[in-house]
Amino acid sequence: MITESLISGLVTELIDQTDIFVVEVKVSQNGKITVLLDRPGGILIDDCVRVSRGIEGRLDRDAEDFELEVSSPGLTEPFKVREQYEKYTGKEVEVMLHSGENFQGVLKSFEGDRLWLLLKSKAKNKSVKKNPEDVSEKELFLKDIRITRVLLTF
């Protein structure tokens, strides 16, 4: 039987000595294997192909039927691992807390069990021009965060 721990072990071997990190490994009841990978500069198709071929080469299709997908997490997907916080430091993110509060700002830094966001202040009077340098810093703990994702702006 193909298990998540088996696939995780194979992937760990295949990405050893690289800056690639595992975001998620899932194995469904019907044999669909999903591996999400990333790296600080962004994962390349060649990286996904190399890992996919490495996994396929270590599994026996005659023993078990499976479907394999190796890709990067989508930009709209919530962060799942600490490395994603490190990768997106300096980028705009949206953070939703378990309490229901939402914050949007630049991920200033991430360390241990907390992160710091730079938030733009909101002027109460719309006729008053706000200074773009007028920002505040918000410290958030991972245990309080429900979802963090990259904020896409167009």
Domain layout of the chain by residue ranges: 4-71, 82-150
Q: How far is CA 9 from CA 25, 42, 152, in A?
A: 10, 22, 33
Q: What single DSSP character describes residue 71?
A: E
Q: Do the beta carbons of residue 135 and residue 92 sit within 8 Å?
A: no
- Contacts of 136 by beta carbon, 8 Å cutoff, 6+ apart: 118, 119, 121
Percent of the chain with pLDDT over 70: 92
Query: What class has domain 4-71?
Result: alpha beta
pLDDT averaged over the chain?
Answer: 91
CA 109 to chain centre: 15
Rounded Cα distance, 124 and 97, in Å: 24
pLDDT tens-digit readout, 65-114: 999 999 999 888 999 999 999 999 999 999 999 999 999 999 999 999 99
pLDDT of residue 1: 86
CATH number of this structure's domain 82-150, picked from the four choices 3.90.170.10, 2.60.40.10, 2.30.30.100, 2.40.50.140: 2.30.30.100
- Contacts of 148 by beta carbon, 8 Å cutoff, 6+ apart: 78, 79, 84, 85, 93, 94, 95, 96
